[in-house]
Amino acid sequence: MAASTVGEAEMNSASRGAIAGAPLVLRILAECPVSKARACDMTLPHCTVNTPVFMPVGTQGTMKGVTAEQLENLGCQICLGNTYHLGMRPGPELIEKAKGLHGFMNWRRSLLTDSGGFQMVSLVELSQVTEEGVKFRSPYDNKEILLSPEQSIAIQNSLGSDIMMQLDDVVSSTVTGPRVEEAMRRSIRWLDRCIAANRNPESQNLFAIIQGGLNSELRHICLEEMTKRDVPGFAIGGLSGGEEKDDFWKMVTLSTDHLPREKPRYLMGVGYAVDLVVCVALGCDMFDCVFPTRTALKHKQYAKDFQPIDPECTCPTCRRHSRAYLHALLNIIDGCFPQFVRAFMDRMFPSREQYPRWAVDALASVGITLN
Amino acid sequence: MKLELRGLAPGTRLGVLAGLGRSGTRAMEVPGCLLYTHCGSVPHLTHDTLDALGRLPAVTQLPLATVAEHQEVLEAFREGAAKLAGLHDTVLFCSLQDPAAPCPAGYNTSKSVSLWSAAGRIELTVPKYVAMQAAVRPDWYQSLADGDAQPAGSSLKRVRRSVERTLTHLDECVLLHQKTAELVGAELFGVVEGADVREERVRSARETAKRPVGGFVLDGFQSGVMDQALRAQLIAAVTAELPRDKPRLVLGVGRPDQVLSCVEGGVDLFEGFFPFVATERGCALCFRFAMEPDPESAVQEQNGVTEDGGSSRTEDPEHQDLQQMTRFEMNLNDRRYRDDLRPLVVGCGCYCCRNHSRAYLHHLLVTKELLAGVLLMLHNVSHYSSFFSSVREALATDRLETLKSVVLGV
């Protein structure tokens, strides 16, 4: 199955030339009649990606000990690079010289780069956000840096990724009060600056990131505003930082309800298997998480846990996992996604009593009952 | 196991070690080097990255020191280390110590030898040692040996004792080997000791040759322990006492110039740890071994051999320890490679050189990424393997002197 999909990808790339000036084309192959799940083909400059898709994170231009060839053989069609880290080491000038991040890593399929903004929340304690951008002290050389929307896009233009993320003003989902609204509104203004700064709109796709924390009103406003902009795709942001799962899924479903059907939805930072399956049911197409690459070596500890894809492990177990996601795709196409979800939950948990409450509720909200 | 040597100039040993493995169908060309592993896995490489290497040496080395802590698991498994590690279709040689790890001296007694494992020091008597080998189920293994007497600073008495003890251990090993079901069909190699004392070396070789062993392991000649000139003399003295038709393996010699010297002295097999120690330093092997005249200078220019890191050195200190970079390598940590978009070695056909640049390797090392080790190991094993092919070709066409000057860059 994987092989023929890749074959199709090659064919799609060839026919892509016929679609002038559109670096992203989404073809919806099937929609689940019960839930909000869809199976699509997303054609990007470097290759076509089948969704739903899990994108492994290769922070520094490498996938933690896995070669580019191994990654291809595993069926990976798109992976993530980290703008902040690569912007520091080895830096955009060298990468441009090496023919972009694709050339530098020798990865010929698709790449998505983040804006570099999230690092500032997660890596650096004292960062200061102003309208200009984010100011922080680099742990690499202790110099003060300002990352503005323009600079983030400039680096991502040098990296040459197929999908670029806007620079957003990120606040942790546990934060409440006026800061959440301020960050949401600033993210809209920064989206416009990112769109204006993009040197390569015909070969690189800029995605917007919906913010608004756990506040449905703020989310609504953000959705309304950002969907007015002509961007090729949307990410749902601000939702993978330790918030209550009950709040989490409600914001996801609210977001997918108000995002255009014909554009891809990328749920940022969501990677545990259960979360993935539920959010596919809620209408998300793309996912990423550092969890598999970070804990690949210790995966034995998680034997009873959520069995994430392990890109480092090429044993049949993990081929089974990457097939699991293709299975979701096949199941959506064949019209039996709800059965797939039930079988999946049954495999993941020893008994029905142990199904997470939030997952049961979320699935029920889109018509998939688990009993 | 049968060693078939080609009838070339006397003293030249080139041939095939055939009838290997329990099935008796594998063969290994000599001179050759073994595939070095830790606990049955090539460091940094998984099975499918190993496939990228293409043809692998027929014989895999498993130093007991890297698997000793798993003895119980092996015993419970009951099918040997090769099977447990997923090494199918290979011939397994189980040596004692790990050539890439330090082995402090001074812990051996008359009845035991200390093994240096990741879990610390393990004291082994012959029965305990043979029990471990039974759990490993190797195709070849060396006898327990007292290699403690290091040349610098060992008294003659201590050297004699190490020869005596090693022979005693061998005799005990032979007896236990014959009574151990799991070792039926396995070849036991005797170990020649004697430090830097010529008479002891000769005595050890003669006496060991009298025992019913399948081959010989030459200990105490390790790179950090003995200088080239003395090693050459003593190896020649030792091999003169050994039967022609049994293989000779030298422990702890990996540097290409020292390999060539040992080949001249009558050694057939080498441990393949040198690519690994280079990888651990972030270095890529880049020494030349192609004997054709014209492409040489072009490749030399392309590789910038004269300007690169280690290659500008013409001498390496004799008693170099394993941590130090040799002139046969380039150090990818060096800033000069930051924007060098050439492959590691121009013209090398390995996965790393076909797909990646020095700049990328430099980046991976600076960012401490796991992939650095994978790619460097792929290149280094490939390069080293090709070097050994070149050695065999040089012997076949009587051009060993040419190869020596190419490798030494003179």
pLDDT band at residue A122 under the 50/70/90 scheme:
low
Residue A121 forms part of a structural domain: yes
The pLDDT assigned to A1 comes to: 40
B122 DSSP β-pair partners? B115
Per the model's pLDDT, the better-predicted residue between A367 and B307 turns out to be A367
pLDDT band at residue B9 under the 50/70/90 scheme:
confident
pLDDT band at residue B170 under the 50/70/90 scheme:
very high
Rounded alpha-carbon distances, angstroms, from residue A84 to A169, A234, B323, B328: 15, 21, 34, 36
- The lowest-confidence range among A230-239, A340-349, B161-170 is A340-349
B103: annotated binding-site residue? no
The answer, for A104 touching chain B at a CB cutoff of 8 Å, is yes
The rounded distance, in Å, linking the Cα atoms of A94 and B125 is: 58
Average pLDDT taken over every residue of chain A: 83
Per the model's pLDDT, the better-predicted residue between A214 and A120 turns out to be A214
Taking alpha carbons only, the member of A152, A154, A186 closest to residue A166 is: A152
Do A334 and A320 have their domain in common? yes
Average pLDDT taken over every residue of chain B: 89
Phi/psi of residue B289, nearest 5 degrees: -145, 10
The pLDDT assigned to A19 comes to: 46
The rounded distance, in Å, linking the Cα atoms of B157 and B154 is: 8
The answer, for A65 touching chain B at a CB cutoff of 8 Å, is yes
The pLDDT assigned to A4 comes to: 43
Do A42 and A171 have their domain in common? yes
The side-by-side arrangement of strands in the sheet containing B2-5 is B2-5, B15-20, B26-30
CATH of the domain at A114: 3.20.20.105
The pLDDT assigned to A18 comes to: 37
Per CB-CB distance under 8 Å, the chain B contacts of A104 are: 357, 359-360, 363
The answer, for A61 touching chain B at a CB cutoff of 8 Å, is yes
| A90 upstream amide cis, omega within 30 of 0 | yes
- The lowest-confidence range among A170-179, A278-287, A322-331, B24-33 is A322-331
Do A253 and A338 have their domain in common? no
User: Locate tokens 């309208």: which residue?
Assistant: A131
pLDDT digits (tens, 9 = 90+) for A308-356: 344 444 443 444 444 445 556 667 877 889 999 999 999 889 899 999 9
Domain C-terminal end among A268, A294, A320:
A294
Do A140 and A165 have their domain in common? yes
DSSP state letter for B52 = T
Residue A18 forms part of a structural domain: no
For residue A138, the distance in angstroms to the closest alpha carbon of chain B comes to 15
Token couple for B116: 């240096």
Do A265 and A327 have their domain in common? no
The pLDDT assigned to A314 comes to: 47
Do A221 and A361 have their domain in common? no
- The lowest-confidence range among A32-36, B25-29, B33-37, B296-300 is B296-300
Do A169 and A128 have their domain in common? yes
For each of the domains in chain B, give its residue range(s) and CATH number, in order of start: 2-272 (3.20.20.105), 287-292+326-408 (no CATH)
Residues 6+ apart with CB under 8 A from B314: B327, B409, B410
Residue A137 forms part of a structural domain: yes
The pLDDT assigned to B24 comes to: 86
For residue B313, the distance in angstroms to the closest alpha carbon of chain A comes to 29
pLDDT band at residue A85 under the 50/70/90 scheme:
confident
Q: Mean pLDDT, to the nearest integer, of A170-177?
A: 85
Instruction: Please give the residue range of the domain that contains residue A86.
Output: 25-294
pLDDT band at residue B119 under the 50/70/90 scheme:
confident
Q: Which of A73, A89, A98 is closest, CB to CB, to B366?
A: A89
Do A244 and A319 have their domain in common? no
Domain C-terminal end among A256, A272, A294:
A294
Predicted ipTM of the assembly: 0.78
Residue A314 forms part of a structural domain: yes
B286: annotated binding-site residue? no
Q: Which residue of B has its CA nearest to A107?
A: B355
Instruction: Please say if A114 is a catalytic residue.
Output: yes
- Classified as helix, coil or strand, B397 is coil
Q: How many domains does chain A have?
A: 2
CB contact at 8 A, A37 and A265? no
Residue A307 forms part of a structural domain: yes
Query: For residue A5, is pLDDT > 70?
Result: no
pLDDT band at residue B322 under the 50/70/90 scheme:
low
Residues 6+ apart with CB under 8 A from B396: B6, B8, B14
The rounded distance, in Å, linking the Cα atoms of B160 and A141 is: 58
pLDDT digits (tens, 9 = 90+) for B337-387: 999 999 999 999 999 999 999 999 999 999 999 999 999 999 999 999 999
Q: Which of B44, B338, B373 is closest, CB to CB, to A90?
A: B338
Q: Which residue of A has its CA nearest to B378?
A: A67
The rounded distance, in Å, linking the Cα atoms of A324 and A306 is: 13
Residue A371 forms part of a structural domain: no
What is the value of pTM for the model shown? 0.85
Token couple for B271: 């441990």
Of A162, A169, A285, A288, which residue is the catalytic one?
A: A288
- Classified as helix, coil or strand, B111 is coil
pLDDT digits (tens, 9 = 90+) for B270-309: 999 999 999 999 999 999 999 876 455 555 544 544 434 3
Query: For residue A60, is pLDDT > 90?
Result: no
Q: Is the CB of B370 less than 8 angstroms away from the CB of A65? A: yes
Cβ contacts below 8 Å, chain A against chain B, sum to: 67
Q: Which of B339, B367, B375 is closest, CB to CB, to A89?
A: B367
Residue A256 forms part of a structural domain: yes
The pLDDT assigned to A186 comes to: 97
The answer, for A139 touching chain B at a CB cutoff of 8 Å, is no
B379: annotated binding-site residue? yes
The rounded distance, in Å, linking the Cα atoms of B225 and B220 is: 7
Do A158 and A270 have their domain in common? yes
Our CA dihedral for A98, A102, A107, A108, rounded to 10 degrees, sits at -120
Q: Which residue of A has its CA nearest to B360?
A: A104
Do A269 and A308 have their domain in common? no
- Buried-exposed string B286-298: b where 16+ CB fall within 10 A, e elsewhere: bbbbebeeeeeee
Per the model's pLDDT, the better-predicted residue between B252 and A85 turns out to be B252
Instruction: Please say if A246 is a catalytic residue.
Output: no
The pLDDT assigned to A176 comes to: 86
The rounded distance, in Å, linking the Cα atoms of A174 and A186 is: 19
3-state secondary structure chain A: CHHHHHHHHHHHHHHHCCCCCCCCEEEEEEECCCCCCEEEEEECCCCEEEECEEEEECCCCCECCECHHHHHHCCCCEEEECHHHHHHCCCHHHHHHCCHHHHHHCCCCEEEECCCHHHHHHCCCCEEECCCCEEEECCCCCCEEEECHHHHHHHHHHHCCCEEECCCCCCCCCCCCHHHHHHHHHHHHHHHHHHHHCCCCCCCEEEEEECCCCCHHHHHHHHHHHCCCCCCEEEECCCCCCCCHHHHHHHHHHHHHCCCCCCCEEECCCCCHHHHHHHHHCCCCEEEECHHHHHHHHHHHHCCCCCCCCCCCCCHHHHHHHHHHHHHHHHHHHCCHHHHHHHHHHHHCCCHHHCCHHHHHHHHHCCCCCC
Q: Which of A70, A85, A104 is closest, CB to CB, to B360?
A: A104
Task: Calculate helix-pair angle for B228-239, B198-210, nearest 10 degrees.
Answer: 30
- Buried-exposed string A14-44: b where 16+ CB fall within 10 A, e elsewhere: eebeeeeeebbbbeeebbbebbbbbbbbbbb
Do A231 and A312 have their domain in common? no
The pLDDT assigned to B21 comes to: 84
Domain C-terminal end among A260, A294, A328:
A294
Do A290 and A162 have their domain in common? yes
pLDDT digits (tens, 9 = 90+) for B171-205: 999 999 999 999 999 999 999 999 999 999 999 99
